[in-house]
Structure 1
């Protein structure tokens, strides 16, 4: 926890003026939260569509579960591609530049995938999914933008508001995939899945536009002005690594976020194929998968405000412990379900989403509260880089595990991975204090 600094005097006016009073900061934060809320709805809708069609598209092109899992993992882990330049852009231009860059890369990804579909080229489609994953990166980075100007006692709640906003788009997104396909086929014709990709591209363009126009003043740059760190040296991902290495709280947050993301992606990426393989009519798979993954994404985001409130009142450690337990339970429920038991699979996927929510909100609050505004982009970027690499590792591993040993063994493996965070949570670290202790 860092000491607060008085606001420096200023005579400037307009959207880039330094806040003079706590009231000014509160007003700016309300505008930031409203803008991020809107972008998370749009971006969440794009991500939800991408999750629903990714594995199905690539399996149809290749006939292989292994390649399908690879495409899905690259979608969720595509942040590993953009995080390094995005941190540099954020350091220079603030959150607005970094977030807009992420969605612009996602638009490029949709164009690559559409070209790959027309060419029937699976490797190009996988590359496009890697770029498309930038939308997932931007959505995750938005939670940090919500925390830049948040009061310490409400940091978890403000983080959670933005995470929760994704619910409105992400829950509907998988179901919208089928609607987008039918509409595109009726209007333009062409190969399957082009309609879904076009819808994602349009949504990402709209999201980037809202960020560019309305995320003013920039929350990160404003936080640096308030703390007197405007002249602090620019930092890189390497600086974030050094911070995590030296700071036990940051290190714990990074590990918890990465392992939680690994488990979520590993199980979620192969669930669509597990369901499809158990259906008598595989043509109906997209509809069923859309409903189940929509509920899973609802579990990821819908209860985020409750999780954020628990972080504020009890601290990050108990929330991370609870998240780990829920992830293990999710693996047990989903992994023991036959492929035609859609009810049990749905329950497991909802629990999987809830456990991910606890790990993501708890770790983000822990990392943000342990560093100064000048250290945040590099440290948070390093955390998201590790999350992206974990997601790619999960997807790459999940395909072969399912192909050779089955979906149940994949869930056992992911449950073991979830438990690897326990030694870090049992260790000592001076994280941010709960609200009632810091009041």
Structure 2
């Protein structure tokens, strides 16, 4: 009986060819997206403190754009499920660009309500930047998924590190345009996110998710034609494997710890008379540690297993929290060390958790499940951002840092409990 689907060799050639093209498109978008997300991380809390006139609400910007990230993660997941990665990710980045432009306008007219709405929309860029890592895995072989995730994440480093270190020149540019200096990084974010969306619309062809579904269907058709037997196909909506829940837990705990400590570090530094240049350098190195180790982390995830790397992330985040708690406020080197460890711990947790989720899902339900999990991750970050200002106001930066580190260490017993039942 002749088959209408391509032979397996042709399928694998097409998969490999499109995977290479997909990774190139994702790399370009992540470079641009990294520059966009750096604005909120670096000066969001400072801008809110300046416009709201209180430190207790300094964590509000992080909470808002993380809340917007949660909503966008859900929407991008649903749109990608129906129309593919190109449409879902492209629209997400464009929304982030519109939000960044709104922040600039809010700062120019000193409108707090507009600032709050714009920060919410700006969060779309953060969510999309993270969701793009999944696009690199749709066509990747299971043994190379950690590597594929790492390629997407490490590409973010270029823009994400450059952004914070451009705080002062971007501030000068904004001042020259008659805008507040802290609006400068959001000018860059508006351009960068918009360009990332345009790049994905233009270059992510064919769509990796839609192609993966077609190739999977062709493989199933050949199996039936050849008389292959196996377990009956499930009916109704596919359910993710247990590893998806383990991966979600890993990403949630690492996100809470990272966002809480990172959000209040610029405010803590300003209290101890560090300039904007120092703040930009510390956050830039932190973001470098979040993304630059990705190739090594991806290799470790593929070679040592997902749960081993996730457990390591808990230990590194604890070290970050302890270092931040004991470091004198005027010690720039120890602050750098704490934030670098914080970024590294987050990187280990994100890549290992993402790999667990991808392993436990299929192309039929992957975007929907991934979007739902990223909603939880974003909401946990929003909670961390909001509570960070409250905790620092009530108990100090050291208490916040130590508490975050201890929370991250909870990963170890969770993984020990789940290890016999989760794929590694």
User: TM-score, normalization: structure 1?
Assistant: 0.88
Aligned to 1:14: none
Match of 1:264 among 251, 258, 269: 258
Deviation at 1:430, TM superposition (A): 4.3
Aligned to 1:62: 52
- Two-structure CA RMSD over aligned residues (Å): 2.3
Q: Counterparts of 1:168 and 1:369 in 2: how far apart (Å)?
A: 28
Deviation at 1:101, TM superposition (A): 1.6
8 Å CA contact 2:154, 2:294 repeated in 1: yes
**Which stretches in structure 2 are left out of the alignment for 5+ residues?**
222-232
Alignment of 1:179-218 (within 5 A): 179-186=169-176, 188-218=177-207
Q: Counterparts of 1:226 and 1:209 in 2: how far apart (Å)?
A: 27
8 Å CA contact 2:243, 2:359 repeated in 1: no
8 Å CA contact 1:55, 1:68 repeated in 2: yes
SS of residue paired to 1:207: helix
Aligned to 1:168: 158
Q: State yes or no: 1:119 paired with 2:109.
A: yes
Q: Does the C-alpha gap of structure 1 residues 432 and 146 become closer, same or farther in structure 2, counting only changes over 3 Å?
A: farther
Deviation at 1:166, TM superposition (A): 0.7
Aligned to 2:372: 382
String of CA shifts for 1:176-216, please: whole Å, max 9, x gaps. Answer: 12222212333x22333333222211111111110000011
Q: State yes or no: 1:255 paired with 2:249.
A: yes
Match of 1:426 among 413, 416, 419: 416
String of CA shifts for 1:255-306, please: whole Å, max 9, x gaps. Answer: 1001101100000000000000001xxxx63211100000000110111110
**Which stretches in structure 1 are left out of the alignment for 5+ residues?**
1-6, 12-17, 434-439
String of CA shifts for 1:211-242, please: whole Å, max 9, x gaps. Answer: 00001111111111111199999x9xxx79xx
Q: State yes or no: 1:80 paired with 2:70.
A: yes
Aligned to 1:436: none
Match of 2:269 among 249, 267, 275: 275
SS of residue paired to 2:118: helix
Aligned to 1:9: 5
Deviation at 1:175, TM superposition (A): 1.2
Deviation at 1:79, TM superposition (A): 1.5
Deviation at 1:357, TM superposition (A): 0.2
8 Å CA contact 1:8, 1:225 repeated in 2: no
8 Å CA contact 1:8, 1:226 repeated in 2: no
Q: State yes or no: 1:321 paired with 2:315.
A: no
Alignment of 1:22-421 (within 5 A): 22-186=12-176, 188-228=177-217, 243=239, 247-279=241-273, 285-421=275-411
Deviation at 1:371, TM superposition (A): 1.2
How many residue pairs match? The answer is: 408
Q: Counterparts of 1:278 and 1:184 in 2: how far apart (Å)?
A: 25
8 Å CA contact 1:52, 1:289 repeated in 2: yes
Deviation at 1:8, TM superposition (A): 6.7
Deviation at 1:432, TM superposition (A): 4.1
8 Å CA contact 1:40, 1:162 repeated in 2: yes
Q: Does the C-alpha gap of structure 1 residues 8 and 79 become closer, same or farther in structure 2, counting only changes over 3 Å?
A: farther
Q: Counterparts of 1:10 and 1:313 in 2: how far apart (Å)?
A: 32
Deviation at 1:431, TM superposition (A): 4.0
Q: Counterparts of 1:130 and 1:19 in 2: how far apart (Å)?
A: 47
8 Å CA contact 1:66, 1:396 repeated in 2: no
Which ranges of 4 or more aligned residues in structure 1 deviate by more than 6 Å? 229-233
String of CA shifts for 1:114-139, please: whole Å, max 9, x gaps. Answer: 23213322243122112111111111
Q: Does the C-alpha gap of structure 1 residues 302 and 77 become closer, same or farther in structure 2, counting only changes over 3 Å?
A: farther
Deviation at 1:72, TM superposition (A): 1.9
